Structure formats: C-alpha cells, structure tokens
Amino acid sequence: MAKKTKLTPTVSSSVGVYVYLGPTIHGVIQNGTIFKGAFEDVCKRNLDAIKRFPDIRRFIVKDTEVSKVKASLKEGENFLSNAYKKIISQIQGG
C-alpha cells in the first residue's frame, strides 16, 4: 500500500515565481497563471479572489513545488484535492 504523505505548499517571503494550480474561476483566476514577486504580494494582488474563495491561497505555489502539487492533486484524497473539490462546489453554487 502506498504511503500517504501530507504535502504542504511552500510559503516563502522571498521573491520568486508562483503558479496558481487550482480550478479556473471565470472572471476571477485561471489555472496556470504565473505570478512574480513575494508570496504575500501575490496574495495581495489576488485579495478579492481569495476573499471570495479562501482556498485559492492553497493553490498559489512556488514554481519548484508545481510537480509535487500536481502529483498530490492527481493522487486525490488529501487536503489539496479536498480543497480543490470545495472550490468547484462553491463555483457551482453548492
């Protein structure tokens, strides 16, 4: 049986490249959007979206973490895949 590991996206105050890996929310944020700057600044630029869908913050990940986060989402049944499903449910009005 595969060992389940808890993947926690890296949050850094250093300037870098971040990618949004959550679901596309039309008019709000699009999957694959690339941001440059410090994590806090990226979140500030997306504050309206984060206020509407707080779990968006979990999907803004450092570029070095993209493959790990994608693998975690594909694996399913973890906190990230559950947060992804929660956003989808909110988009659909559920």
Give how many domains the chain has, as a whole number. Answer: 1
Distance CA 39, CA 61 (A): 8
For the chain, percent of residues with pLDDT exceeding 90: 81
For the chain, percent of residues with pLDDT exceeding 70: 85
pLDDT in tens, 20-42: 999 999 999 999 999 999 999 99
pLDDT of residue 14: 77
- Domain residues for the domain of 21 are 16-91
Question: Is residue 52 domain-resident?
Answer: yes
Question: Is residue 8 domain-resident?
Answer: no
66-75 and 79-91 helices, crossing angle to 10°? 80
pLDDT in tens, 79-91: 999 999 999 999 9
- Strand, helix or coil at 2? coil
Task: Give, in order, the Cα–Cα distances in Å from 46 to each of 20, 49, 72, 75.
Answer: 11, 5, 24, 27
Q: Which two tokens stand for residue 28?
A: 């709000």
Question: Is residue 75 domain-resident?
Answer: yes
Question: Is residue 21 domain-resident?
Answer: yes
Q: Does 6 have pLDDT greater than 90?
A: no
